[in-house]
Each structure stands twice: as C-alpha cells, then as structure tokens.
Structure 1
C-alpha cells in the first residue's frame, strides 16, 4: 500500500486498503507527489507501468527519462495547466522502460491540491496500461490510412457481422461470408471448402464460390490432401503466399505437379482454416489472384477475423439445422409409428368385433376348432408385429442415448445363421423365394448372439419387403481376421444416391402404403455392427439386385467388455 505523509484514522485506513485491493485487481497504479518533497511516491503497479525500479525512492528525473521524448512536453504542459487552472488532468502518453524495451502506453489521471493561499502543494493520481488498446487503435488507424476504401470495408464487415448473427440458413451464411471476404481481400475469386473426406481421405467438398461462376471449377476434381491444402484442413494455421507457384510446398503431387490445365491462374494465395468452438476444423476459406503479392497482413487479419465469426455462426446454424432435423425426425416418426401401430391394432379390433357379433348371435360355427385356431394365429401375428415395432422403438431410443449394450460371448456365426434362416423358412417360402446357403464352417467370434440374430433378421425382412419372390443367397466366409456375412437378392436394386441413405433413421425407398415398417431396420443393424467394431454396407445397381455385407472382427469390439 502507498505510504502517505499523514496517518488516517482506522476506519479510513480500512477504506484505503479496500480501495488499494480493488485498484490492484484492475491493474491500476497509484502515485502522489508532495511538491515540498524531492521524491514521487509510486505503488508497485505504477512502478511497473513506468519501468521504474521495484524499490527505492523515485525522483522526477527518473520519471522524465522514461517518458517518450515526443510526449514529454505534452505531459509537463498538462501538469502546468492543471496547477494554473486548478483542474484535474487526464492524458495518454508513452513510456520507455529501457532503450531496448518497446514503448508502453499509459492513461494517467490526477488532481492537484492547493493550500489556503492558493499555492499548489500536492499531486495525486492513478495510472493504467492501455498498450493493447492503443495497439488496436493504431492497427485500425494504419488500415484506414493505407486503404482509401477502408470505410466501405468496415461497413461491409459490419453488415456481414449483422448478417452472421441473424442468418441460420447455412448455405446463405457461408455464401455471404465468402462474398464479403473476396471483396475485402480484393481476390479474383474466393471459395469455402468443407472439410469432408472421401473413403481414401483425400477430397474436400466445394461449398460456396465467389468472384467466378461455379462452372469455372466444374471440370476439376476436389482438392486433395496435398502439402498446400493439408495445413488448412488440419487447422495448423493461415497460409499466405505472394506467389504460391514458388512456395516449396507447391507442385509435389502427380500427375500434374501443379495446377491442372485450364484452371484459374493463381499466384497470390491466402487460405484460412475455419475452426469451431469445439476445435473441429469445419473447412477453409481460400482466395486466389493471378497477380503476385496481392494479399498482405491486412487481408490476412480481416479474413482471420471473419473466419472466427463465421465459425461461431456456422456452429449456431448447424445446431439450428440439427434441431430442425430432430423436429422433422420426430414428426416423421410419429406419422410412421401411428400408421404402423394402427394396422395390427385395427386388425385385432376388427377380429374382436367380428367375434362379438358371432357370440351375440349365438352362432355355434364361431367356435369350431379351425375358426378359433385361425383367429388365434391372426391375433398372434398382430401381437408379433406390435412387439417388433415396440422393440425397434426401444432400440432407436437406446441408440440415441448411447445405451445399446452388447452381451459378448463366443458365438458360431454359421450356427447362428442357420437358426435365423430356419425361423424365416416359412415366410421365405410363402413369398416365393428360393434360398441358397454358402456357410464356411468354424467361424467363431466374440459377439452378441441376440443382436447379430437381429441384424440378419432385419436383412432377411428387408429382402422380403423389397425383393419378394427373387432368389436369395446367404453366404459366410473368413477374410483376414474378420467374418463376412453376405445377403444377396435379385430384386430391383438400389440407386447409388440412395445406398448411404437407407442406413439412416426412417428411410425407405418406397412409400408407407407400399411397404410396412418404421424404416429403422437397417439403421439399427448398422449401429449393432458398428458397436461390434464392424462395418455394414451395400453394393447394388438399379435392376441388378442388392448385396448387403456385414464385416465383423473375430476378436469382437476392441474396447468392449462383456456386459
């Protein structure tokens, strides 16, 4: 605490101590000068601000030496005016702690106290380090000086920032940022590439384009994981090059070892990763110009700022998109579930009403063995259907909550396959299927038998629905350290664009009126297989049937323990 020339009463002393703690927490220093004394009293923070020694007396000459020469006259003028006008003073000036250290900006305020005769007797004030604030101001000032169009740029940034806060449609949001950033950087073109990898892990999806028509990129493949592109999609930092063709990372990939023929000419190059709040690299903003040296540190700063804003906005937009999808999924589920549940309930209700009429009519024919057996079988089928629907709904709830448990044991996959096929024999025969089994013996793995039975049952049910009456082949073979189960039908086939979609929730290739079910079977099967550390996929072409493959590691899931 600063020591003064007078001793305050205890209550006042406590107030001063609290005041000192508040000021220290805010990084504010305190100083005073009794004009009848040769020294200035400074607390520890004020000493740091001025670059003064941590201990010992401080005389005015020491302070004067540390004030920047360009600001010295202005500081003393402010002190002189304060004494003459008997008014508080406030000013900002630079200090230099040493010849080698960078200048520090201070904001100093204070008051001068006079005696009864009107003579200045005492100075007292506070200091605050505003170096960061001044650096920011200087950066903005330099930007305004360097570019005649800075005002328009700031207006554009402001409009873009407002749009980012209001826009929840992802494509509009990203397109607006790409357009704004292309204009700000004076690039010939700009693009945003999503960080989406293909199966080989080397392609990225063009999402938005600005400055040139989309056709300019139509005949070229997506960028690969080259030395130039990879740092951006890994979030390793910004790349700015005056001439990318002379960059040591350029031109190392066959076959062209550079830009393909007909590609837009690019010499100046700027690439900025867009990273979400969770650390995920969403994608990258890329800018090009045929002239070298177009992009400077200014453009880099502007795009980096926009990239940070757009990352937050994209997080919000994607969250909004997921909420919309969840609402749509809920509505879809309720619609499908109500339809599917109504069918067996209606069947049982009609059967019950029919029996009630026969009983009321005292019809003896209603109680023959054959009729009762048939009605019981119809009721059992309706109950089985309801049970399957409820099981599917419970499974999808467990999957959504991450609680789909596996009870692992040694399972012979060949025996399991025969058991499931035997249970389906009557249904398959009734639907006109011929079935061929090709099962390699002795394929035993650490799996959940009940869940794998469910997977195969879902695949056979899928064939019954979509490929009735066609030949079916169920095969089992070993491949390295995996078992591969295949179910092949000769039905209508699946278009390439639908082959990924059929494993999502509530997805069916035909309407609910054509095929029954919730559209959950393949989705549940995928999660069961993936839970085992395996993979399920389909190979198909329209008109050429479909082959579903289930690949399971013989050792079971790598990180699971028996439940």
Structure 2
C-alpha cells in the first residue's frame, strides 16, 4: 500500500504544476494530513481522487494542445497550399509574360521585315516609275528631235534634187546644189549613226577592238580632217609637247569622240579657236577640247551628258553626241567632264588609260 501511495504521491508531484484549481490543492493537503495521521486508506483514496482529477485536467489540457496542434497543422497546410497555388499562379504568369513577349518580338520582327520589304518594294516601284517616266520623256524628246532634225536634211535633199532635174540650170548652180545635197546627206547619215550608236553601245556583249595606237598622230589626223570640212570660221588647232604617245584603244571609237567634241564646239564657236590638246599624266593620257565660243552656263553642266539633251534647240543634232562620248570613254576605262574653271568658252576634258583597262 505504501508503495502504491508513494507512486501516487510521485505522480501527484509530477502533475502538481498543472493543477491550478483550489479544490485540487485542498485534496493534496487533505491527503498529506491523512498520511501524517497514519490513516493510509483515506490518504490512498484521497490521492486516487487527486490523480483522477489530474488525469482529467491533463487530458483536457492535452486535448486542447492536440486541437491547437491540429489547428496549427491545418493552418500550415493551408499556407503551404496557398504558397503552392501562388507559385503556380506566378509560374503561369511568368509563362504567359514570356509567351506574350516572344509573340510580341516575333510579330515585331515580322512586321519590321514586312515593312522593310514593303519599303524596298516601294523604292523599286518608285525607281521603276522614274525610269518609265524618263523613258517616256526620252522617247518624246527623241521623236521630237528626230522629226525636226531628219525633216531639215530631207527637205533640203528633196528640194535641191528637184532643182537638179530642171532644165537650163548652169554648172555653178549644179555644183552648189551638189554641195548642199552632199552636206545634208552627211548630216542625215550622222543622225542615223548617232541613233545606231546610242542603241548598241549600251549592250554589255559589245566588244571594242583594242590595239596599240599613237594618240598624237590620231589627234593630228582628226584636226586636219576637221579643218577641211569645218562649217565655222574658227581655227581648229592641235597642241601637245609630245612627239608620240602609244596607248591601247579602239582608234575608230576614240576618233569618234574627238570628232564629236570638235563638231560640238564648232556649233557654238563661229570665230576664234578650237584647240585639241594632249598630255600625259602618270599612266593616263589627258585629252582636252577647248573653244572660245559662247560657253555653257554652270547650272547646265549637270545636263550636258544626258541623252537627247539639247541646250540650244536651234542647233542641229539629236542631243546624243556628248552622251555617246561619255559611253565610249567609260567603256575605254576613262572619264569625261566639262572644266568648270574655264570661263572663256567651254573646255571638255577626258582621260584614257595608256594600257588596256577597258570596261568593254
């Protein structure tokens, strides 16, 4: 019994800290008094009652703690679920943002590319439109120039040919008519040659026949020929410090350029001088045709080498001469321009490589 009592006392001591009610304290005191009085049976029953009360209190406290733990667990579980849901939402949001960003970038670059292609297409269309307008303009200018230029020599040929068929004309009249017919025939042939040249010289497969040529001798020959057939009172001269200058060129094409430049100068130089000059600078030959005529206004320089451009509508020609000269010089590997610093008339300068450097 004492052992049981000691066990109950130990158990009551362990749970005494949790017994806060006043009746629990009273039972413990009553049990101690019974022990002191030697009434162990009463003390046993009192301690047993106190133990039952402690068990009840412990079970109540333990149940409350269990409920608190369960509530805490449920709260933690809900918080964990909320965190998982929030993480899932964040993942979905990030995925949607990345998808929309990728879609935006794809659309941006797609539309940018489409806009670039559209810009290029518009540019090409605009260029094609300009070329078409330029072609129509050139065609109109060509027809206008040719109808005027061809009509003049044809009328002269028809008129003076009819005079030759008349009876009773003297020899002087026949010679005069013959000279006029020959002159207009040459003019008409030149017009046709200009048209043929401008139509075929652009073809990439057209080959120039290059050979070694003495540029000094060629220039002298051109000047002598033009001096004999000139239609101006201006003197046609050749000046050069060189005795000889060998170049690789198409001599007939180079001669054509020189003749075109001199003929063009003679139209606007009724008196004075037309000078063909030649000099060597490095590995290039520099040709120049200088006149003392009326000159060309600076604002018209940019139009000089355009096709069908006639700065003076009263002057004969198709407006193709300078354009043909530039095409030939380009094909031979040189360049041509008007000297803007010369103000006593007009000076056309072009270069020609000494060796073979043709663009043909």
> SS of 1:500's equivalent?
helix
In the alignment, the residues of structure 1 paired with residue 236 and residue 197 of structure 2 have an alpha-carbon distance, to the nearest angstrom, of 29
The correspondence for 1:332, drawn from 141, 159, 166, is 141
- Pick closer, same or farther for the CA change 1:508–1:304 going to 2, 3 Å: same
The residue number in structure 2 matching 1:373 is: 175
- Pick closer, same or farther for the CA change 1:353–1:479 going to 2, 3 Å: same
Does residue 532 (structure 1) correspond to residue 337 (structure 2)? The answer is no
Check the 8 A contact 1:434/1:471 in 2, yes or no: yes
The correspondence for 1:453, drawn from 255, 264, 273, is 255
In the alignment, the residues of structure 2 paired with residue 301 and residue 496 of structure 1 have an alpha-carbon distance, to the nearest angstrom, of 49
Does residue 393 (structure 1) correspond to residue 195 (structure 2)? The answer is yes
Does residue 313 (structure 1) correspond to residue 122 (structure 2)? The answer is yes
The residue number in structure 1 matching 2:51 is: none
Check the 8 A contact 2:201/2:327 in 1, yes or no: yes
The residue number in structure 1 matching 2:351 is: 551
Q: CA deviation at 1:490?
A: 1.4
Check the 8 A contact 1:491/1:543 in 2, yes or no: no
Query: Normalization by structure 2: what TM-score?
Result: 0.67
The residue number in structure 2 matching 1:81 is: none
Check the 8 A contact 1:493/1:541 in 2, yes or no: no
> SS of 2:201's equivalent?
helix
- Pick closer, same or farther for the CA change 1:400–1:533 going to 2, 3 Å: closer
Q: Deviations over 1:229-270 (max 9, x none)?
A: xxxxxxxxxxxxxxxxxxxxxxxxxxxxxxxxxxxxxxxxxx
Check the 8 A contact 1:487/1:547 in 2, yes or no: yes
Check the 8 A contact 2:211/2:248 in 1, yes or no: yes
> SS of 2:339's equivalent?
strand
Count of residues in correspondence between the two structures: 273
The residue number in structure 2 matching 1:503 is: 305
Higher RCO, 1 vs 2 (CA within 8 Å, ≥6 residues apart): 2
Q: Deviations over 1:432-482 (max 9, x none)?
A: 112332122211111001001100000101111122212222111111011
- Pick closer, same or farther for the CA change 1:432–1:307 going to 2, 3 Å: same
> SS of 2:309's equivalent?
coil
In the alignment, the residues of structure 2 paired with residue 374 and residue 436 of structure 1 have an alpha-carbon distance, to the nearest angstrom, of 28
- Pick closer, same or farther for the CA change 1:448–1:138 going to 2, 3 Å: closer
After TM superposition, the structure 1 stretch with the greater mean CA deviation from structure 2, 538-547 or 431-440, is 538-547
Check the 8 A contact 2:217/2:244 in 1, yes or no: no
Does residue 465 (structure 1) correspond to residue 267 (structure 2)? The answer is yes
**Alignment root-mean-square deviation, CA:** 3.3
- Pick closer, same or farther for the CA change 1:139–1:386 going to 2, 3 Å: closer
Q: Deviations over 1:198-255 (max 9, x none)?
A: xxxxxxxxxxxxxxxxxxxxxxxxxxxxxxxxxxxxxxxxxxxxxxxxxxxxxxxxxx
> SS of 2:337's equivalent?
strand
- Pick closer, same or farther for the CA change 1:508–1:542 going to 2, 3 Å: farther
Check the 8 A contact 2:238/2:276 in 1, yes or no: yes
The residue number in structure 2 matching 1:435 is: 236
Q: CA deviation at 1:413?
A: 0.7
Q: Deviations over 1:490-510 (max 9, x none)?
A: 122222232231011011211
Does residue 343 (structure 1) correspond to residue 343 (structure 2)? The answer is no
In the alignment, the residues of structure 1 paired with residue 105 and residue 200 of structure 2 have an alpha-carbon distance, to the nearest angstrom, of 57
The residue number in structure 2 matching 1:135 is: 102
Structure 1: gaps of 5 or more residues: 1-67, 74-93, 96-102, 106-132, 141-297
In the alignment, the residues of structure 1 paired with residue 114 and residue 179 of structure 2 have an alpha-carbon distance, to the nearest angstrom, of 69
Check the 8 A contact 2:223/2:237 in 1, yes or no: no
Check the 8 A contact 1:411/1:449 in 2, yes or no: yes
**5 Å matches for 1:260-279?**
none
> SS of 1:540's equivalent?
coil
Check the 8 A contact 1:493/1:542 in 2, yes or no: no
Q: Which has the larger radius of gyration?
A: 2
In the alignment, the residues of structure 2 paired with residue 323 and residue 136 of structure 1 have an alpha-carbon distance, to the nearest angstrom, of 42
Query: Normalization by structure 1: what TM-score?
Result: 0.44
The residue number in structure 2 matching 1:520 is: 320
